[in-house]
Structure 1
């Protein structure tokens, strides 16, 4: 899973007006990107399916940004991009 694939999933889950997912979104929290807890659950479920990597429910709550999610999946090293 890379950032572009994550962006595709995020778009499929809906994007609020005025949010530019093509910008620097790695360190923005989900709420800053316009996603509520239900949308984040939808995103993380789709990511787990696409990446074939299960995440524990407890850890999903700690993955508050796209960077943290990608790092947890092991596809983005800390401080990358």
Structure 2
């Protein structure tokens, strides 16, 4: 069985690690909303990356986190890392 990383997983990890800014609805259609517009800056994303890494047993480079501007981009990067880890 292959591990999957979904938008719901990302929402949960964001809420647990960095919380939610007032007025931001993470339950809405946020896939292509920039993290900055959602109230998450680089430090919050680094913490999110660490949490993802611990939970899923992968290591996300800081560059991956810096380059992922939206939830969709981060989810895709995590999925690529999970796929690469499972094929090794």
Provide the TM-score with structure 1 as the length reference. 0.82
Gapped regions of structure 1 (runs ≥ 5): 76-81
Structure 1 runs (4+) deviating above 2 angstroms are none
Q: CA deviation at 1:23?
A: 0.2
Q: What does residue 7 of structure 1 align with? A: 11
CA distance in 1, matches of 2:35, 2:51: 15
Distance 2:44 2:78 in 1: 19
Matches within 5 A, 1:1-81: 1-12=5-16, 13-74=18-79
Q: SS of the counterpart of 2:58?
A: coil
Give RMSD over aligned pairs.
1.4
Larger Rg: 2
User: 1:59 offset after TM fit, Å?
Assistant: 2.1
How many residues are aligned here? 75
